[in-house]
Structure 1
Amino acid sequence: MQRTYNFNAGPSALPLEVLEKAQKEFINYNETGMSVMELSHRSNEFEGILLNAQQNLRELLDIPENYEILFLQGGASLQFSMIPMNFLAADQTAGYVLTGSWSEKALKEAKKMGKTAVIATTDENKYRSIPKQNEIILPKDTLSYLHITSNNTIFGTQWHQYPELDGIDLIADMSSDILSKKIDVSKFSMIYAGAQKNLGPSGVTLVILKKELLDRIPDQLPTMLDYRTHVKSNSLYNTPPTFGIYMLSLVLEWVKTQGGLEGIEQKNHEKAALIYNQMDAYPDFYRPHAEKESRSLMNITFTLPSEELTQEFLSQAKEAGFVGLNGHRSIGGCRASAYNAVPLEACQALAHFMETFRKRFL
């Protein structure tokens, strides 16, 4: 079977090896005579899957022991509300750096919970860049935390150097670039990520949380919206998305076979370079949205000289077997999402298509 060149922004490509293993185990997981989807979440078999996922995450990301690892539901969007509900005190301010639509949505939810401040933003240049360190000016108010979105799927920008803060909790939405490169988890008080980009299928949300933050949580929160509930129950307070966590555990095992995060990061640079090289060679034809120093390795955004030519490119790309190259509906254009599981061959094929398409018009 010919696999499609899948550049969807999310849910996105999964490693073929992971899909094949899941297919093999689909009806009979580990000789239980049941699918993972039929296992009790209280069973030894599923608790083994959960433990394996936690251990592999801790190993791959070098997560310190003073951090909890949770698997929740509701996507990153629920975290937009849970974070200020749990950590924004009445006498403090929550700081947000705006780099795109998702950071705007996170701020919108935080405003409902308490006092907020925009610490830096690049909306004046249509989110073409990431703020520099000297542009992050902290207010005199006491900040409860500073929130950033590490990668911006719609605009194609990414933090390559995270803010250096003194005594302020840094919280990052890493939904679209988690596991794409090595990071120092200890620089963050909390990291969260929807699974459907680099971790697995949609339905699971990863939360990596510094334990000391738990002491700040007020007692009147609804049970399911209190992080302590999920810490105490090891993410098993209610029925979790068992199949999604199983798939996530298989993806983590696959990452280890790719040379860990060092190997994954090297491949991601190689894949993105193939496409960016086409844009740099012919910037008047393939016009990048993101400024060069802020370019994302995950989401590569560009337009062509006219809307008609852009649509012709997308139409011919679809006929050639490429899926998911349409830009987000809010800004249009083109977007190639080259997440971890997108193979090098797909990016090579796209770069070749871009070259041949250009030659027809130049």
Structure 2
Amino acid sequence: MVSTRHGALCRRSVHTQTEYPLKNAAVQVTGCRECQSLFLPSAGGRDAACVRCEQVDDLIRMVAELKEEVERLRAIRECEREIDFWSNSLQGLKERYRGETPQMGVDTLPSRRRAEGGDLGAEEKWKQVPARHRRRCPPLPTPPSQVPLQNRFEALENERSTETEEEVESVPRRTPRVRRSTPHIRTASTKNERRVIVVGDSVLRGTEGPICRPDPTRREVCCLPGARVRDIAKKVKHLVRPTDYYPLLVFQAGSDEVAKRSPKAIKRDFRDLGRQLRGSGAQVVFASVLPIGGMEAERCAVRINSWLRDWCDRHNFGFFDHGKVYATPGLMAPDGMGLSRRGVRILGQELAGLIDRALN
């Protein structure tokens, strides 16, 4: 009995010893160097990358190879395009050369063709050929004796020509239209005291004092109420004398017609006036058109002044811009059809300052 119990205890203890290692057993894993993910180690025990990283490396390698192939194909395509371009250009030049070269049976480039075809052997030598004498042209045959010719209908032709001349003379002839040249203003080249002439429409009424007070004998204001630019062009040739030396002409025009006429007609009149003044030997200054006549006149004046500035620059005329000074309240008349007393005084002072700067 005692032995049996001892054997049972030994078996139980042995069983217990074999169970302990099973409970404490663990699985050994390692980490990837690239993505830091866990995976089972290989049989060899080497530290390798995971399958996912290997696939990514293969894909990157394939993409790099594809990029290299694409670059190579692009380079080949560019070379083919350049070759096609030069071949087409050479073909066009060849056709053009063939069209310009006279069609002759003689080869124009014998030496080149021999070199390309190999006609001239290595052992052969060039031979000197004596110059050929020019053939003399055979003398032209003597012309045959002239046969006298006679027209039986010569008398009838003379009668017809006489009748035609009479009909042409009976038709009234039109006199060609002669284009009238624009009269130009002439001034003297002898140095003398300069005259100042200010010409304009009704806005100049009352500006004589500020303008002419510094030198009444040499300054003149010509106010033409209601006058257009073309009326001023007719008047100015009577104001400038041939004995004047380098006079100063100031034009304040266009204000009376800016609300009545189109900008196109006013520009045409300014061009005619400029042709008359060009080459006259006078210093010409055009002042900007004042917007007198309401909102529509103001818009038209802005367009004309913008054109007038560029036109004066192109033709070496002076341009004086009033700006928006007369948009200030109190400078225009209550009805908007003229300047107030204060506006006239400011206009006179502006033109007087312009004259002083031009003379000095």
**TM-score computed with the length of structure 2 as normaliser:** 0.26
Structure with higher strand content: 1
Report which structure shows greater RCO (CA 8 Å, sep ≥6): 1
Structure with higher helix content: 2
**TM-score computed with the length of structure 1 as normaliser:** 0.26
